[in-house]
Chains A and B, each alone.
Chain A
């Protein structure tokens, strides 16, 4: 039954990647930028939850809400301070700035929380699921990751499709200038996108640290990059694509770790990225973006 265990773990990890990938996909779709710092917002979320729940002893769910609020504010601040002045700049400048922000968050966290990783206490408090007479036990963190990510994908799809703000996001992602002319507040929409993405990053931070309870200042970096791979795999800009890509990457990683080599699991995930870009650069559900002449 080892394979089934691995598969379930892969889907669980993939669900967390999916939540992170949503943040990348939203920001990439709307602000047309690769927000390198997104992974580090996850780390900040993790530390916020840790501080509230473990250090101050608050209720875990309340801690999560506080962390979501904190990350939302952080996301808006990052956008206003670092990215907004660069709206007209080349994508090279924006990328370098994003890397600067990512590094800034990692090193601030290093100064505040130190270099030693902390042990994160799981915030998930659900019963385990036992299948096949206890041959397969699904941990509550696993269930939570899958359920939460599905809820988020459905909720976000509804939000984008049905609400006024959501449709504004679609309009901005299609054509920023045209959306502006039609009366959409572009700045507000971009802020909203960063707010949603960062809020979700806090949720991802909670899920990630609950499942893998070691938290340090670089906790978010690698999952962040892998989630970006997932977003590209599923088709950047697509919400269901992020979910599909996330789960595929999670499963590939866990199966690679189990059956190929633990040291090479990351390398396998990145090799997937290179293969996807070679075969179908737009990903599974993505569409081609062309430049205006």
Chain B
């Protein structure tokens, strides 16, 4: 069974069908791309998958569990973590605290334990620090663990967002334009990191991207959205050579 099973998903905003009857299924361990021209409904789709918007039709199953209409918080607990097109870090927290915030639900001790500094506090914090450093190392942010997140350069902020999302130990990672604003070198490095994350953490990744070098470089399968509807779906090479897709991108 597929890890993510989306069937006939849709939402309307005041009569506008922002996403209309979208279906896709992603297998465990896949690197999957969601592409389409601007305004095609890709980010809306992410917002539907993560519960920011409640779908007006369709169903979403994650690992066999129906998560349609659940809250963002519950969907994250069910196993979907994401990054944002316009970076949303906890800008006044240090780099490591951003990651540790992501660990909050998986490394537990009570507020009283924290306030009274009971032994469990020190034990759990130590484990959290180790886990956070491990994640930061993957993204080459280990050296900057005490830097304030807002002071990181742009590319590193994008990476920190991925690290934070991974800290919640998701089954599925959604990346919204991870390469936006990166130069070709950084993009190439990011591609390696995403592959590494998939292999190392046994992760399934769904990403939105405009950078075709990244899409064709790492995505195994693609869905193309246009005007909120599915235009084409399949293997990356097939999709990118589809005349309809080319038309949608280049215009008529």
Contact = CB atoms under 8 A, between A and B. Distances in A.
- Whether both chains belong to one complex is answered with yes
Interface of A: 293
A293 B47 CA distance: 8
Contacts of A293: 43, 47, 52, 84
Interface in B160-194: none
Interface residues of B, number: 4
Interface of B: 43, 47, 52, 84
B140 to A, nearest CB: 28
A249 to B, nearest CB: 32
Contacts, number: 4
B175 to A, nearest CB: 15
4 contacts: A293-B43, A293-B47, A293-B52, A293-B84
A293 B84 CA distance: 8
A289 to B, nearest CB: 14
B88 to A, nearest CB: 9
A293 B46 CA distance: 10
Which 4 pairs show the lowest CB-CB distances between chains A and B?
A293-B52, A293-B47, A293-B84, A293-B43
Nearest to B50: A293
A293 B11 CA distance: 15
Nearest to B72: A293
Nearest to A293: B52
Contacts of B84: 293
Nearest to B46: A293
B174 to A, nearest CB: 12
Contacts of B52: 293
A293 B52 CA distance: 8
Contacts of B43: 293
B203 to A, nearest CB: 23
Nearest to A291: B52
A293 to B, nearest CB: 5
B107 to A, nearest CB: 27
Contacts of B47: 293
A92 to B, nearest CB: 13
A117 B84 CA distance: 56
Nearest to B85: A293
A293 B83 CA distance: 11
A293 B48 CA distance: 11
A107 to B, nearest CB: 33
Nearest to B47: A293
B50 to A, nearest CB: 9
A293 B43 CA distance: 9
A237 B47 CA distance: 27
A151 B52 CA distance: 42
A221 to B, nearest CB: 34
A122 B85 CA distance: 59
